[in-house]
Amino acid sequence: MKTFISEKHQNEAIASLKTILSYPSYLQEDDETPFGKDIQAVLEKTLEITEGLGFRTYIDPDGYYGYAEIGEGEELFAVLCHLDVVPPGNLTLWDSKPFEPIIKDGYIIARGTEDDKGPTMAALYAVKALLDAGETLNKRVRFIFGVDEENLWRCLGRYNEKEEKATMGFAPDSTFPVTFAEKGLLQVKMRSQETSAYTLKAGGAMNVVPEDAAYEGEWVEAIAAELDQLGFKYERNGNAVNVKGKSVHSKNAPDGINAIVRLAKAIGAHDDNKVLAFLRDVVQEDARGLAIFGEVQDEASGMLTLNAATLSIEENETVLGLDIRYPVTIEKDFIVEKLETAAEKAGLIYEEYDFIAPLYVPLDHPLVENLMAVYQEKTGDMSEALVSGGATFARTMDNCVAFGAQLPQSEATLHGPNERVALADFYQSMDIYAEALYRLTCEK
């Protein structure tokens, strides 16, 4: 195998990464852009960077996506990336400012280093290294930059309405070696139209287990006492109490601690709100959804997971947001039927918010075989291909899979405080991407 990545490529990739990490590109919709000015700005800056590397670029006039392409030929190899991030969360849990990237103790630290700006730059500069080595592309390589991945995927939805689909490709937005199957994703809202003497908002992105859930009002003493009785962690500040959980990605919901559910259990003794009762008695602290679905799992992709992601209590309505990841062999209709039954029993209104069908590319597909071979030869790790509860842009096109960039031995910090990636891991992922793209897109 050739070695394409030089120290110069490493340094250039880190410099560009630090630039795009400085944009707080989480969803903040306004009247001028579909997803917020910072998202629009990071998309424009990224395309500027790719132009400097020799790519041809295009930006959707409405700001839904952009792409950078290089090479010639009828076939199109896509690298499916996203430049939006989840919000930083509780800033007091960060040791540095989330949008002022720093390098410390061998890590680069900022929101987006793992998900997905770091992997994006690693793959981009891998292509640059191939070109610098004099390699000739035998097909067009197109980096497609989505900007609504952490929410409703409206970016790639618009791309697929207007643009050319890939022949094959990968999303650098998961874990090595190769994710050949991804669970179905269903996000729903459960509503109750009842009055409330107080308001409450908790949770952020639908794909994050909430780490904080705060109540402020006249019941604060009683709720604090209930939290003490339950043994739940919280912080008290005057007439407010903030329940503490543990934030993880929704795909790993059983590994988190859901602050919304815990707050609902404490409030429940004082409020007969139907959504709170549903959280307390049905959702409970079971991230598998057993009380709703029963035992749902398959041999190919494991168990169903359930995350109570958001809660909003207003004067005349309460809304709960749920994120469900279900096994690849299970039909969506089964999941919906169980949810509708649970909602009806609890006196709630069921509403579908988002749905993404499962992904499956056979293990003997040339794309999977090539990517697996590269990873195994580069690392010596003979791990098998993966199934994930996460959802990547690989689902948006045929013959695409998720490929890296997190290494199996590395800590997953995406969506949490102090998101970071080891420089050594970043450089290794560049090396893996360069070899993979060489085998799949270059003349031999």
* Residue tagged 């639908």 (tokens): 206
Express each pLDDT in 175-206 by its tens digit.
999 999 899 999 999 999 999 989 999 998 89
| Cβ atoms of 69 and 55 closer than 8 Å | yes
Average pLDDT, the chain: 95
Position 390 pLDDT exceeds 90: no
| Cβ atoms of 205 and 309 closer than 8 Å | yes
Structure confidence at residue 329 (pLDDT): 87
For the chain, percent of residues with pLDDT exceeding 70: 100
Structure confidence at residue 204 (pLDDT): 86
Beta-strand runs (E) in 272-413:
297-298, 302-303, 305-313, 318-326, 349-356, 359-360, 386-388, 400-403, 405-406
| Cβ atoms of 106 and 422 closer than 8 Å | yes
**Active-site residue set:** 84, 149
Q: Which of 53-57, 105-109, 204-208, 222-226 has the lowest mean pLDDT?
A: 204-208
Q: What is the mean pLDDT of residues 414-423?
A: 96
Structural domains of the chain sorted by starting position, each given as residue range(s) with its CATH number in brackets: 7-182+359-441 (3.40.630.10), 184-356 (3.30.70.360)
Express each pLDDT in 295-349 by its tens digit.
999 887 889 999 999 999 999 999 999 999 999 889 999 999 999 999 999 999 9
Picking from 210, 192, 321, 215, the residue whose alpha carbon sits closest to that of residue 266 is 215
Q: From residue 424, how far is each of 130, 282, 406, 428, 430 by CA, in Å?
A: 20, 45, 12, 6, 10
Handedness of CA 376, 250, 120, 111 (dihedral sign): negative
Express each pLDDT in 202-259 by its tens digit.
998 898 999 999 999 999 999 999 999 999 999 999 999 999 999 998 999 999 999 9
Q: Give CA–CA dist 147/150, Å, rounded.
A: 8
Q: Give CA–CA dist 271/160, Å, rounded.
A: 46
Q: In one letter, which amino acid is 258?
A: N
Structure confidence at residue 444 (pLDDT): 65
For the chain, percent of residues with pLDDT exceeding 90: 89
